[in-house]
């Protein structure tokens, strides 16, 4: 049902993940050269061009998968146990995306004198994980209510 609060949480989580595709995750400054870390990889920004230095296709696929699972979970309101499992999977994927983003930034520039400025979208996976957890709690509450009503009958 669309009017359930967990549906709103899942929809907001989907929107927040979609915003990751719009904004850079971080800006990296190394010896006067600016690099931008987006969902597709690390780009070197010069005066005349923007060049992809390190491709991060697994991170883009992971964010796409998280957005897809979150969106599909909205429409599984009749299958609450599956919806709860997908929510837990989504939270784990979001935490894995943080680990993967950390790997790309620090493995690419280890041993260099870097200044990393995280962008606003760096906290979006955390916000989406919190929203997904809130949706999970609402789904679990509904499931407990339905089971308690089954016992009464």
pLDDT of the chain along its 153 residues, tens only?
566 888 899 999 999 999 999 998 888 888 878 888 888 888 888 878 888 888 888 999 999 999 999 999 988 888 888 999 999 999 999 999 989 988 888 887 776 777 888 888 889 999 999 999 999 999 888 888 888 877 665
- Number of residues in the chain: 153
* Domains annotated on the chain, with CATH: 5-152 (1.20.140.150)
What angle (nearest 5°) sits at the alpha carbon of residue 110, between those of residues 51 and 62?
60
pTM listed for this prediction: 0.86
């Amino acid at each position: 049902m669309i009017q359930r609060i967990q549906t709103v949480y899942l929809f907001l989580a989907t929107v927040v993940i979609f915003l990751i595709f719009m904004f850079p995750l971080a800006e990296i400054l190394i010896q006067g050269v600016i690099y931008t870390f987006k969902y597709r990889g690390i780009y070197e920004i010069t005066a005349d061009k923007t060049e992809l230095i390190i491709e991060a296709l697994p991170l883009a696929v992971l964010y796409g998968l998280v957005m897809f699972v979150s969106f599909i979970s909205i429409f599984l309101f009749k299958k609450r146990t599956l919806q709860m499992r997908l929510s837990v999977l989504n939270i784990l994927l979001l935490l894995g995306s943080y680990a993967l983003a950390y790997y790309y930034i620090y493995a690419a520039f280890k041993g260099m004198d870097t200044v990393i400025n995280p962008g606003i979208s760096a906290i979006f996976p955390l916000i989406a994980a919190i929203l997904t957890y809130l949706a999970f709690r609402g789904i679990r509450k509904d499931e407990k209510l339905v089971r308690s009503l089954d016992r009464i009958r």
